[in-house]
Structure 1
């Protein structure tokens, strides 16, 4: 099997790999911060690399389509998609397909606590990190809903509405 012209260009540009034989099928992890990596990047990557335990993406151009590509990765335990304004609730079914996923960070995305309450149902999750603009009353109601469904999962909210007795902002954990 040969690499297409576009795929060969991808592997040369991003990984300095020239031949199909040199493309790894497994990676220890993948990190991309404030880059132009996008859905096409993840498409080509996931065509050849099948195992990546940890992926950390912050401020890239990845959208819901890229998350769909990531759902093909085996043994993915930690996924960070921080600061991705085009990652929406349409990605939640893909998170549900990631059967080894234990830690999910979707802070500063378009996914809300309400969205998670409606459709997140990945029983392997142990921690989810999420931004929230909701008030404390709404957070408490939704906390009960999601904790019933995901008994072994802690939800960490980056929220501006909760304060301690001294007026210091807290990040609620439920």
Structure 2
């Protein structure tokens, strides 16, 4: 896919890649925390970089619409989305990432029902969330479905 002028400028200014062919398709750790990345820019990244071991997007203005772009990734092991405008609407996209072992959704708007719907992520070892209200039945269901996962609620371990 040939990049437009806006995308070429993005890669040159944000990452100093002078041409698209120099962008790697795999990265170990991509730390974009506090970088003010947009939904569109996240889509640029996931259209070129297909495998990311650890992706940190904490404190960015990316929302549910932008997270759909993460479905472009072939592989991701750790995903940090702390303090982002993420709701239960993102759960469907997150469930596409079957290799996830760590998912940080602290200080987002993901509810306990959203946690329940994350139960298809059988490889999760750590899930961090800050739901506005505690719904024990949803949290207990998640732990029954993903028994090897450490569930952290409001930064404290949760046990059913």
TM-score (norm 2): 0.90
Matched ranges for 1:65-144 at <5 A? 65-84=65-84, 86-117=85-116, 119-120=117-118, 121-134=120-133, 138-139=135-136, 141-144=137-140
RMSD (Å), alpha carbons: 1.7
2:141 alignment partner, one of 139, 145, 169: 145
Matched ranges for 1:11-26 at <5 A? 11-26=11-26
Partner of 2:46: 46
1:154 maps onto 2:150 in alignment? yes
Whether the 8 Å CA contact 1:57–1:80 is kept in 2: the answer is yes
Given the superposition, is the C-alpha separation of residues 33 and 20 from structure 1 closer, same or farther in structure 2, using an over 3 Å criterion? closer
Q: Distance in 2 between matches of 1:23 and 1:115?
A: 34
Partner of 1:10: 10
Query: What is the number of equivalent residue pairs in this alignment?
Result: 158
Structure 1: which 5+ residue stretches go unaligned? 160-170
Given the superposition, is the C-alpha separation of residues 133 and 19 from structure 1 closer, same or farther in structure 2, using an over 3 Å criterion? closer
TM-score (norm 1): 0.83
- Structure showing greater radius of gyration is 1
Structure 2: which 5+ residue stretches go unaligned? none
Q: Distance in 1 between matches of 2:64 and 2:139?
A: 25
